[in-house]
Amino acid sequence: QSASNYIDPVNGFQFTGITDAETQVTYGVTFPPLATSGAQSTEFIGEVVAPVAAQWIGIALGGAMLQDLLLVAWPNAGSIVSSTRMASDYVQPTAYTGAATLTTLPETTINATHWKWVFRCQGCTSWTSSSGTTGSISVDGSGVLAWAYSSVGVDNPSDAESTFQEHTSFGFFGIDYSQAHTSNYQNYLE
Ligand code: HEM
């Protein structure tokens, strides 16, 4: 599966992403306009639109579980609890200690059928693992994003660093990041 551009019909944001056919979860990301000179921005806006059967969702920014910057989120008491994580083995990912900041944006919604997490991820286009290896998103090239899904709730939903069990499903999609930029990016943050 590979990502294509879509407009979220409710918030109007343009994202690049997929809807997984099995779990019916949508994943989308969008980046600020490419800089024509100098360093690229290191942030993006993303969204996860999940049926309420999804107890937690993860996104692996480098397309694999290990040595990767992992975003994990679930709904709790009307809001979204989220964290950045890292794993060096196929066990419980722990808090990411590098400089990556997640902010839940006001377009986030939770209703009887779905939860939609719209977020800003700053300092998220490169990362360093606990063993010192590095990874990055090539904002003017292409890459692979991976997702993880669970139908089993986390152990302590009010705690962003909660433990949880292994995902019940995972998958991958290719993405052409060079096409995943929007000139409206700053407007989305206002
Ligand atoms: C793969 C365990 C959490 C993303 C795997 C595999 C295991 C595992 C055993 C290999 C499965 C296979 O090849 O069939 C766990 C456990 C977790 C956990 C025990 C938590 C307690 C996460 C989280 C994410 C994630 C939070 C994403 C945010 C992935 C992905 C794969 C995978 C993308 C497939 C690609 C790869 O092997 O790297 N996980 N996982 N996992 N996991 Fe996890």
Percent of all residues in the chain with a pLDDT value above 90, rounded to a whole number: 98
Mean pLDDT for 25-33 is 98
- The residue to mutate among 65, 154, 161, having the most atoms of ligand 1 within 8 angstroms of its beta carbon, is 65
| Residue of minimum CA distance from atom 25 in ligand 1 | 65
pLDDT tens digits for range 42-68? 999 999 999 999 999 999 999 999 999
pLDDT tens digits for range 97-125? 999 999 999 999 999 999 999 999 999 99
Rounded Cα distance, 184 and 167, in Å: 34
Atom of ligand 1 nearest to the CA of 72: 28
For residue 176 the two structure tokens come to 């052409």
Length of the chain: 190
Q: Are strands 94-95 and 109-110 parallel, antiparallel or unpaired?
A: unpaired
Alpha helices in the chain (DSSP H): 185-188
CA–centroid distance, 188 to ligand 1, in Å, is: 32
Name residue 85's amino acid: R
Question: Ligand 1 pocket by C-beta < 6 Å: which residues?
Answer: 58-60, 64-66, 70, 72, 85, 90-93, 146, 148, 164-167, 170
> For the chain, where are the E strands, in sequence order?
4-7, 14-19, 26-30, 44-51, 56-60, 70-76, 79-86, 94-95, 101-104, 109-110, 114-122, 126-128, 134-136, 142-150, 169-176
CA–centroid distance, 43 to ligand 1, in Å, is: 24
Look at the alpha carbons of 98, 138, 58, 183 in this order and tell me if their dihedral is positive or negative: positive
CA–centroid distance, 166 to ligand 1, in Å, is: 7
- Per-residue model confidence (pLDDT) at position 130: 86
Neighbours of 52 (CB within 10 A): 12
| Residue of minimum CA distance from atom 16 in ligand 1 | 166
pLDDT at 70 over 90: yes
Q: Is the pTM of this model over 0.80?
A: yes
135 contact partners, CB below 8 Å, separation of at least 6: 61, 62, 67, 68, 69, 126, 127, 129
Rounded Cα distance, 12 and 87, in Å: 34
Q: What is the mean pLDDT of the chain?
A: 98
CB 185 within 8 A of CB 122: no
